[in-house]
Amino acid sequence: METLTLAGAINAGLRKAMERDPKVLLMGEDIGSLGGVFRVTDGLYKDFGGDRVMDTPLAESGIIGTAIGMSMRGYRPVCEIQFDGFIFPAFDQITTQLAKMHYRSHGKITLPVVIRVPFAGGIGAVEHHSESPEALFAHTAGLRIVTPATPQDGFLMIQQAIASADPVLFLEPKARYWDKGEVDVDAPFVAEGASAAMSHARIARHGDDVTIVAYGPTVRVALQAAQVCEAEQISAEVIDLRAISPLDIAAVVRSVKKTGRCVVVHEAPTPFGVGAEIAARVSEEAFYVLEAPVVRVGAFHTPYPASKLEHDYLPSVDRVLDAVDRVMIH
Amino acid sequence: MDVHGPLSDEGVVRLLTHTGERVEHPVYSRYADELDNATLRLMWREMVIVRAFDREATSLQRQGELGLWVASLGQEAAQVGSGHALRAGDWVFPSYREHAVAYLRAVDLGNLLRIFRGLEHGAWVPDEHNFHLYTLVIGSHTLHATGYAMAMDRDGLVASGDPSRDAGVICYFGDGATSQGDTNEALIFASVNNAPIVFFCQNNQWAISEPATRQSRVPFAQRADGVGMPNVRVDGNDVIGSYAVTREAMDRARSGGGPSFIEAFTYRMGAHTTSDDPTRYRSKADEEYWAERDPIARLEAYLERSGALSPEYREETAEIAKTLAADVRVRTKAAEKPPTHEMFDHVFAEPHATVDADRAWFERFERSFVDSEGRH
């Protein structure tokens, strides 16, 4: 076991994947000698060279579009989009081309492209550097979307994403990059079934009274809220979804059938978000055990505000606790 | 015509005039000389066949057998000429009007119509023809082509030391596509990576109803100057010229000389698609001017003059074209819709719970329709 930050764990996972498979290439802006603006690719350029760690022109659509072409010849490009808010120039390539090529070719073309995106807020950044666009992509069939919440998951899931035969949007909660955790860096890696393995939700904390569903940056918030709940004699179960597509709804329903209550927490705005999907699915599949309506805790239907306001915009521990109170009164 | 910029033919390479006179060019004649009369008449035959196919497809659409047809009428020379400059190992990234190139790459044209009958999105296996699927979003595939070319370079297929093994990519797109961000990004990525690719722009002068002057103030080939890419304008209705410039550019790509840009100055003689009505935006005079520059007629005139087109060859060609059109007609009309459950296939390469659940739900739903005798 090693103690690593989330950024360090993803870096270690990338290194493992590159050592294992010479077809794995990194592409992105400033990922070479700089090591990426968050240093997630630190040292890889030095060790693997510019052919494997490619600094690209400053054009997101170009990065994804050329990655598609390279993966058609058997390469496994791992693209870095520098910030969440910069992904939209590539939106067409991702949703219209990357996501649909396997389908439109009757399975003859597979595109194992990974798109790494530092996402979500909480770091006091300027405009367009703190967004949570997952729902926009989750609506598109053909993309897998995952997000690690811990260094262990960051290390393993990046390797699983690279091993997957499908395109994967790999969302990295940038505010957690510096969180440390124990990582089993020497565990044998199993490529077989990697897509399924990274899509299983994880019970981050067991509880009996309420299920708090979170992913990526909000897992820590949910755990902190659960801690406070415990002091108030409320036993909260925290589920870390890991994957948004496919959604491990079975894991959520299992938990809700035990607790009868469900709160969903994400940084993205609540309207039409992942929480709305979960609320709908839980009401369909666990209706008769629900003690209370499913409550969503997310951002508001406003653009991401200036950073001095972001702590009131993002779901805080207090807002999660407020939601727990609202489901517990039933 | 008294026009300038992208609507003029200023500076085009032309080896065959519109009356079928063979003319010389200091750089490109040497490639044209590779084409003997047997090859030239084969090119003529291919153009004739594809035009017959095109007409048949248009008829099928008019009779309700196809939802839409996108004719390549008028662009046969640009496509057949450039297509002949390719080798089996080269890769083609078409837009959606490259039926003549598809034909040269041995794509079954009858199958191709399945796309336009609404039966499937991709009607051939790209790896079997080195011919990628059609791309309907304008310009998106220029990046795929560039990435593919970069990968071919990595795979040692460029300047390998064995020129017969070397390979490159050609990417077809139109005048409208040059305005897309993706196309411009493709030029940049190809240029800085010295990718083995030829950007083949068929300037057919119309992006549906918008004339080329809505896309550019200068000839499209000049776009490549901005990224330091060799470029050339060619008379796209001259099959010999189209061959020669592509031959040179593909050689450059395969031998490590990097990307090139070709603007084939041609004309969309038909409508954009069967849903379009060109009478609303362009003049009869314009169409007549271009009818006199028909790519097939000028090659025919040349071949006639050189005695290379025997009546037997003509008859045989007409027969092949007729047979192909008839075959396409019969197969298209007989082509039934695929089973509905196929829409759940290949959404992902590995199992995906959401799609699996949708499929299972749909199968249950279908099974729920049972008649009074217990039949589904």
Q: Give me the number of domains chain B comprises.
A: 2
**Structure confidence at residue B372 (pLDDT):** 66
Verify whether the Cβ–Cβ distance A105 to B352 is below 8 Å. no
DSSP H stretches of helix in chain A? 6-20, 44-48, 60-72, 91-92, 101-104, 134-138, 151-163, 194-197, 218-231, 249-259, 274-285, 310-313, 317-328
Distance CA B102, CA B46 (A): 11
Of A197, A221, A245, the one marking the end of a domain is A197
Sort B121 into a burial class: Cβ within 10 Å, 0-12 / 13-18 / 19+.
Answer: middle
Question: B254, B268, B298, B329: which is the annotated catalytic residue?
Answer: B268
Q: How many CB atoms lie within 10 A of CB B137?
A: 15
Mean residue pLDDT of chain A comes to 98
Do both A236 and A105 map to the same domain? no
Same domain, residue pair A216 and A279: yes
Residue B260, H or E segment: strand B260-265
**A63, A76, A94, A106, best to mutate vs chain B, most B CBs in 10 Å:** A106
pLDDT surpasses 90 at B371: no
| Shortest alpha-carbon distance between residue A261 and chain B (Å) | 23
Number of domains in chain A: 2
Which of A163, A197, A231 is the last residue in one of the domains?
A197
Residue B214: active-site member: no
Considering the candidates B272, B293, B298, B329, report the single residue annotated as catalytic: B272
Q: Which one of A74, A96, A110 has the shortest CB-CB distance to B349?
A: A110
Indicate whether A115 and A26 sit together in one domain. yes
Q: Provide the residue type at B220 as one letter.
A: F
CA distance A319 to B123: 53
Q: Which domain holds residue B371?
A: 340-376
Please provide residue B173's backbone torsions phi and psi, each rounded to the nearest 5 degrees.
Answer: -160, 175
State whether A177 and A102 are in the same domain.
yes
pLDDT tens, residue by residue, B304-331? 999 999 999 999 999 999 999 999 999 9
pLDDT at B16 (0 to 100) = 97
State how far the Cα of B60 lies from the Cα of B139, in Å rounded to an integer: 28
* CB within 8 Å: B345 and A106: yes
Q: Which two tokens stand for residue B103?
A: 């034909």
> Which of A197, A218, A250 is the endpoint of a domain?
A197
Q: Which residues contact B65 (CB under 8 A, 6 or more apart)?
A: B117, B332, B333
Please tell me whether residues B257 and B139 are part of one structural domain. Answer: yes
The residue from A106, A128, A129, A139 that is catalytic is A129
Residue A96 to residue B189, Cβ atoms within 8 A: no
Token pair for residue B88? 């089996």
Same domain, B50 and B173: yes
Judge contact between B100 and B50, C-beta under 8 A: yes
> Do B317 and B347 sit in the same domain of this protein?
no
Is the same domain home to A168 and A258? no
Instruction: Report whether pLDDT(B73) > 80.
Output: yes
What's the pLDDT at B370? 76
Q: What is the mean pLDDT of residues B73-92?
A: 98
Same domain, A143 and A227: no
Hey, are the CB atoms on B354 and A246 less than 8 Å from each other? yes
Chain B residues within 8 A of A94 when measuring between CB atoms: none
CA separation for the pair A93, A99 (Å, rounded) = 8
Which residues of chain A does B352 touch, with a Cβ-Cβ cutoff of 8 Å?
144, 166, 195, 245-246
Looking at the structure, do residues A177 and A285 belong to the same domain, yes or no?
no
> Could you tell me the mean pLDDT of each successive run of 10 residues in chain A, 330 residues long?
97 98 98 97 98 98 98 98 98 98 98 98 97 98 98 98 98 98 95 96 98 98 98 97 98 98 98 98 97 98 97 97 96
A130 Cα to chain B: minimum distance (Å):
25
| pLDDT for position B1 | 46
The reply to whether A117 and A238 lie within a common domain is no
Residues of B in contact with A102 (CB under 8 A): 346-349
**Is the distance from CB of A144 to CB of A99 less than 8 angstroms?**
no
Nearest to B192 among A57, A73, A96 (CB): A57
Q: Mean pLDDT across the stretch B182-193? A: 98
* pLDDT exceeds 80 at position B3: no
Residue in A72, A97, A141 closest to B347 by CB:
A141
Active site residue B148: no
**Angstrom distance (rounded) from CA A67 to CA B310:** 50
Question: Which token pair is B297?
Answer: 């007629």
C-alpha distances out from residue B201 to B44, B79, B189, B207, B209, Å: 22, 11, 17, 12, 18
| Residues B193 and B260 grouped into a single domain | yes
Is A62 close to B126, i.e. CB distance below 8 A? no
Helical pair B181-192 and B140-154, crossing angle rounded to 10 deg: 20
Q: Give the Cα separation of A277 and A272 in Å (integer).
A: 8
Assess whether B78 and B206 both reside in one domain: yes
CB B248, CB B16: distance < 8 Å: no
Q: What residue in A sits closest to B191 (Cα-Cα)?
A: A57
Alpha helices in A49-89 (DSSP H): 60-72
> Domain with A220 in it: what CATH number?
3.40.50.920
Cβ–Cβ under 8 Å, residues A69 and B149:
yes
Query: Cα-atom radius of gyration of chain B, to the nearest Å?
Result: 22
B52 and B197 part of one domain: yes
Q: Domain check: are A104 and A181 in the same one? A: yes
Q: Which residues of B touch A (CB under 8 A)?
A: 120-122, 125-127, 132-133, 135, 137, 140, 142-152, 154-155, 181-182, 185-186, 188-189, 192, 345-355
| Rounded Cα–Cα distance for residues A234 and A324 (Å) | 9
Q: What are the angstrom distances between the C-alpha of B149 and each of A72, A125, A129, B156, B355?
A: 10, 38, 33, 11, 33
d(CA A57, CA A55): 7
Q: Which residues of B fall within a CB distance of 8 Å from A67?
A: 147
pLDDT at B2: 52
pLDDT, mean of residues B255-262? 98
> Could you report the predicted ipTM of this complex, rounded to two decimals?
0.97
B167 and B314 share one domain = yes
Asked if A129 and A82 sit in the same domain, the reply is yes
Contact A297, A269 (CB under 8 A): no
- State whether B349 and A102 contact (CB < 8 Å): yes
Residue among B127, B152, B354 whose CB faces A247 most closely:
B354
Among chain B residues, the shortest Cα distance to A110 is held by: B349
Do A80 and A154 lie in one domain? The reply is: yes
B376: pLDDT confidence band, cut at 50, 70 and 90?
low
Chain B touched by A69 (CB under 8 Å): yes
CA distance B338 to A149: 43
| Residue B323 and residue B249 share a domain | yes
Please give the residue range of the domain that contains residue A75. Answer: 2-197
Q: What are phi and psi of A143, to 5 degrees?
A: -115, 135
Q: Is residue B264 within 8 Å of residue B234, measured between CB atoms?
A: yes
Pair A192, A226 in one domain: no
Q: Looking at the structure, do residues B264 and B345 belong to the same domain, yes or no?
A: no
Alpha-carbon distance B273 to nearest alpha carbon in chain A (angstroms): 22
For residues B346 and B326, membership in a common domain is answered with: no
Same domain, yes or no: B193 and B314: yes
Q: Are residues B372 and B240 in the same domain?
A: no
Cβ contact, residue pair A93, B355, below 8 Å = no
